[in-house]
């Protein structure tokens, strides 16, 4: 059976899907990156259950570590996450108009009209409205991030928390906790602040038209979803595979650009090492990133003058 592998390596989590010729997801996996995309990809490929009769005809990578993993797996498509998310979502919902996406480090909005991307935006400076903020606050409150949504739903009067900046939000949160707000209210306030921050920072001036879909890791948080619907006053769809959409999109792209190459199942045995050195050829002091495959230099990135 022909199949295509799509991997989305984000800052917090790594997602992988295998898609067959009918564009169905036949296997998927979601693990945390733990700061090491190469190791995470190896674990992911182990967990994906690539059966012996699967013939991998194409591999696509996306996410912030797309380049190195693309090199490692010799992928035929290496694309940015904005395109991958749009392609995956449009495939499932042909008449979708707005995609809201909140991931670990970044949040983005993609506006789609007639099945093509017409506008997009990504958070630029601040990570306040993203998953990493929520998880760090969860740790602070000693709650599992997974339970965040359910706890938030219990609250009737969410605490008001400054949404503009992570640092402000955190000091506000401490203040609210110290004057005795209940945990539910604080958690609900946090979820609400994520939504407000997202709408203020990312969606500036964009028209959010229905149907709207909410994706990314944070879409699993029911609290955030609830406040999106409440504040926008519109229905917001959350797909059960919302967190896999980037990987799904890139797998579809890999299928579209398929090569005649067949990928072996033993992608995992290759040793990959990245070494960072500084070039002192001029005062630019470029940080050179050298990538070794089985102790052999395969690529160097980061040079500004093109010397390497």
Partner 1 sequence: MGDYIIPSKYLLKHLINYEIIEPPKITSKTKEIGEKYSPEFVCTPFKYTLGTMIEALELGANTLIQFGGGCRYGYYHELQRQIINDLGYQCEVINLISGGKLINLKSLLKKFHIKKLKGLYYTFITIKMIKYMDKIDDYIRLNACYEKEVGSMKKIKEQMLKAFSETKGYFDLIKKYYYFKRKLKKVPKVNKEVMKIGLIGELYTLMEPMANYHIEDELIKMGCRVKRFTNVTYLLFQKKKAVKKYLKNFFIKYRMGSDALDNIHHTKYLCEHDYDGIIHIKSSFCTPEVTAIPIIDKVAKEYNVPIIFFSMNLNTSETGIKTRLEAFYDMLEMRKKR
Token reading at 226: 């609830």
Contact call for residue 79 and partner 1 (CB under 8 A): yes
Beta carbon nearer to partner 1, 122 or 141: 122
Token reading at 68: 């190195």
Near partner 1 by CB under 8 A: residue from 35, 205, 233, 240: 205
Contact call for residue 35 and partner 1 (CB under 8 A): no
Site track 164-203 with partner 1 (rule: CB under 8 A), x = hit: ----------------------------------------
> How does strand 107-113 pair with strand 55-62?
unpaired
> Segment 235-254, which members bind partner 1 (CB under 8 A)?
none
Whole-number Å distance between alpha carbons of 270 and 163: 45
Contact call for residue 232 and partner 1 (CB under 8 A): no
Near partner 1 by CB under 8 A: residue from 36, 46, 95, 118: 118
Furthest-apart CA atoms within the chain: distance in Å: 65
Whole-number Å distance between alpha carbons of 147 and 117: 34
Contact call for residue 264 and partner 1 (CB under 8 A): no
* Segment interacting with partner 1 (CB under 8 A) among 14-22, 96-104, 190-198, 277-285: 277-285
Token reading at 113: 């009209």
> Segment 86-115, which members bind partner 1 (CB under 8 A)?
114
State whether residue 122 is helix, strand or coil: strand
Q: Could you tell me if 44 and 28 are in contact, meaning their C-beta atoms sit under 8 angstroms apart? A: no
**What end-to-end distance do the CA atoms of the chain give, in Å?**
41
Contact call for residue 124 and partner 1 (CB under 8 A): yes
Side-chain half-sphere CA neighbours of 297 within 13 A: 9
Beta carbon nearer to partner 1, 64 or 219: 64
| Count of residues touching partner 1 (by CB under 8 A) | 21
> Cis peptide leading into 160, omega within 30 of 0?
no
Whole-number Å distance between alpha carbons of 148 and 150: 6
Beta carbon nearer to partner 1, 150 or 303: 303
CA distances for 89 relative to 100, 154, 252, angstroms: 11, 31, 11
* Segment interacting with partner 1 (CB under 8 A) among 130-138, 166-174, 190-198, 282-290: 282-290
Beta carbon nearer to partner 1, 124 or 260: 124
Burial of 61: CB neighbours in 10 Å, binned 0-12, 13-18, 19+? buried
Near partner 1 by CB under 8 A: residue from 116, 179, 266, 296: 116
Give me the residues that bind partner 1 (CB under 8 A), please. Answer: 64, 79-83, 114, 116-120, 122, 124, 205, 282-286, 304
């Amino acid at each position: 059976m022909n199949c295509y592998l799509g991997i989305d390596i984000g800052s917090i989590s790594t997602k992988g899907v295998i898609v067959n010729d009918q564009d169905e997801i036949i296997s998927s996996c979601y693990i945390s990156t733990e700061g090491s995309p190469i190791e995470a990809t190896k674990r992911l490929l182990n967990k994906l259950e690539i059966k012996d009769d699967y013939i991998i005809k194409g591999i696509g990578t996306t996410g912030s570590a797309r380049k190195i993993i693309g090199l490692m797996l010799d992928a035929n498509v290496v694309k940015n996450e904005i395109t991958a998310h749009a392609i995956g979502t449009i495939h499932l919902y042909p008449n979708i108009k707005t995609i809201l996406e909140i991931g670990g480090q970044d949040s983005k909005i993609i506006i789609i009209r007639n099945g093509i991307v017409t506008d997009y935006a990504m958070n630029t400076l601040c990570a306040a409205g993203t998953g990493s903020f929520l998880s760090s606050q969860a740790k602070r409150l000693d709650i599992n991030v997974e339970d965040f949504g359910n706890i938030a739903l219990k609250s009737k009067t969410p605490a008001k928390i400054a949404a503009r900046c992570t640092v402000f939000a955190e000091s506000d949160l401490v203040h609210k906790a110290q004057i005795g707000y209940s945990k539910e209210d604080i958690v609900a306030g946090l979820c609400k602040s994520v939504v407000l921050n997202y709408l203020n920072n990312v969606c500036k001036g964009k028209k959010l038209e229905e149907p709207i879909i909410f994706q990314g890791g944070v879409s699993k948080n029911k609290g955030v979803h609830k406040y999106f619907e409440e504040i926008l006053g519109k229905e917001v769809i959350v797909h059960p595979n919302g967190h896999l959409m980037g990987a799904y999109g890139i797998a579809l792209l890999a299928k579209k650009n398929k090569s005649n190459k067949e990928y072996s199942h033993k992608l995992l045995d290759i040793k990959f090492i990245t070494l960072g050195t500084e070039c002192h050829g001029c005062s630019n002091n470029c940080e050179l990133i050298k990538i070794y495959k089985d102790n052999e230099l395969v690529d160097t990135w980061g040079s500004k003058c093109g010397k390497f």
